[in-house]
Amino acid sequence: MSATLTVRRPELPPSLAAFKKLGNEELVRSIESAKAELGKSLVILGHHYQVDDVIRFADFTGDSFKLAREAADVEGCRWIVFCGVHFMAETADILTRPEVEVILPDLSAGCSMADMADRDSVRDAWQDLDSIVGADDILPVTYMNSTADLKAFCGRHGGIVCTSSNARAVLEWAWARKRRVLFFPDQHLGRNTAKAMGVPLDEMIVWDPHEELGGNDEAAIRKARIVLWKGHCSVHQMFLPEHIDAFRARDPEVRILVHPECRMEVVDKADVVGSTEGILKVLREAPAGSRWAVGTELHMVNRAAKAFPDKKIDFLSPMVCLCATMYRIDLPHLAWALDELRQGRVVNRIQVDEDTAHWARVALERMLAVK
């Protein structure tokens, strides 16, 4: 006889369950009322990938690091509600004053890319690399889209954090100090940036944490100048070279604008490559009447199309590509978190322990010092 496995989802807190039953108008009124009551003690941060219903309540919008810096600069704030994903809230907690409490409305809002590299796997890779080329000859670089544990790992080992907008400057900083770089968790950002800097592809290897020596032989490891972790963004991975070909076949004058987290084959075909903030800057400053196909998260592209109606802005992929984990921050979770604050209760607080926060801050401060 075969057994039937029943998977039960955790029950929602009673108060959250009640908010799940409310209509949008009631949720909007609740959020507006809570914001008015909490006043300047509350700051809501909204990432560009958030849905319109949520981001409309943000006091500041931006990419992950811009928002973390906004959080660090806010004075008189007691609570930060981060409408983003887990690693963003961690970074905000690391950079803000100790008395500021950071809240993530839904703790299940994670990042699939960040989850592709964990502390134990990176530590094991580091030990393997040490045994072959020596740790004195390699420097760890982590993308902002990583856990606080991995930022701290970089801090402890002389390494640094990068964003999609400063990855080149950070790699220049790293190679000025060591011959090799271990870059995680996004292989595409590392590859695209290193290639643009003139590093040959045969001096790049991909490290698969599930394979012995990352799936490489010792000769390839010794030759490598950059070791790319086998990770990717599930949104940007969806864009393909044929999507660009199809757009250009329909409109030879269209300009292709993509994020550097896209595959190398997509980046190579694009006209312009830019970070999240960089993409918005390009579209904002583009000539009226220009036509663009943009390869990044769907909500952001749609919002840009509305914000810059004098240009024609289309989504590059024929398929829907949205950040599913970011999508978990919705009106019921936001309304619930704010209502709990109004009643003196802090829910879903993100708090990084002191030692991890210290070393993560070291890596972040190294990044901030890079010009």
**Using one digit for the tens of pLDDT, what is the confidence trace for 190-202?**
999 999 999 999 9
Task: Kindly report the average pLDDT of the chain as a whole number.
Answer: 91
Q: Is residue 136 part of a domain?
A: yes
Average pLDDT over residues 1-9: 41
Last residue of a domain, one of 233, 260, 291: 233
pLDDT over 90 at 147, yes or no: yes
Alpha carbons within 13 A on the beta-carbon side of 63: 17
Cβ atoms 145, 113 nearer than 8 A: yes
CATH number, domain at 44? 3.40.50.10800
Task: Convert the pLDDT of each residue in 308-363 to its tens digit.
Answer: 999 999 999 887 666 666 678 999 999 999 999 999 999 999 999 999 999 999 99
Q: How many structural domains does the chain have?
A: 3
- At residue 235 the predicted structure's pLDDT band, cuts being 50, 70 and 90, is confident
pLDDT for the residue 12? 61
- At residue 114 the predicted structure's pLDDT band, cuts being 50, 70 and 90, is confident
Same domain? For 101 and 74 the reply is yes
pLDDT over 60 at 141, yes or no: yes
Alpha carbons within 13 A on the beta-carbon side of 195: 17
Q: Is residue 295 part of a domain?
A: yes
pLDDT for the residue 185? 96
Average pLDDT over residues 34-58: 92
Cβ-based neighbour number of residue 115 at 10 Å: 15
Q: Is residue 49 part of a domain?
A: yes
Q: Is residue 298 part of a domain?
A: yes
Last residue of a domain, one of 233, 264, 289: 233
DSSP state of 315: E
- At residue 66 the predicted structure's pLDDT band, cuts being 50, 70 and 90, is confident
Query: How far is Cα 33 from Cα 50, in angstroms, rounded to an integer?
Result: 21
206 phi/psi in degrees, rounded to 5: -100, 135
Cβ-based neighbour number of residue 209 at 10 Å: 19
Name the nearest CA neighbour of 70 among 60, 79, 56.
Answer: 60
Percentage of the chain surpassing pLDDT 90?
75
Query: How far is Cα 336 from Cα 326, in angstroms, rounded to an integer?
Result: 17
Same domain? For 229 and 244 the reply is no
Q: Is residue 285 part of a domain?
A: yes
- At residue 158 the predicted structure's pLDDT band, cuts being 50, 70 and 90, is very high
pLDDT over 70 at 148, yes or no: yes
Name the nearest CA neighbour of 65 among 43, 47, 83.
Answer: 47
Q: Is residue 8 part of a domain?
A: no
Query: How far is Cα 161 from Cα 243, in angstroms, rounded to an integer?
Result: 32
Task: Convert the pLDDT of each residue in 72-85 to its tens digit.
Answer: 788 889 999 999 88
pLDDT for the residue 320? 67
The residue that leads in pLDDT, 7 or 114, is 114
Same domain? For 30 and 76 the reply is yes
Instruction: Concatenate the DSSP letters of all residues of 26-93 into one string.
Output: HHHHHHHHHHHHHGGGEEEEEETTS-HHHHTT-SEEE-HHHHHHHHHH-SS--EEEEES-HHHHHHHH
Query: How far is Cα 129 from Cα 22, in angstroms, rounded to an integer?
Result: 54
Same domain? For 152 and 85 the reply is no
86 phi/psi in degrees, rounded to 5: -60, -50
Average pLDDT over residues 169-180: 97
316 phi/psi in degrees, rounded to 5: -65, -35
Same domain? For 283 and 244 the reply is yes
Same domain? For 263 and 297 the reply is yes
What domain range is 291 assigned to?
236-315
pLDDT over 90 at 71, yes or no: no
Last residue of a domain, one of 173, 204, 233: 233
Task: Convert the pLDDT of each residue in 100-113 to its tens digit.
Answer: 999 999 998 878 88
Same domain? For 215 and 181 the reply is yes
Q: Is residue 75 part of a domain?
A: yes
Same domain? For 220 and 254 the reply is no
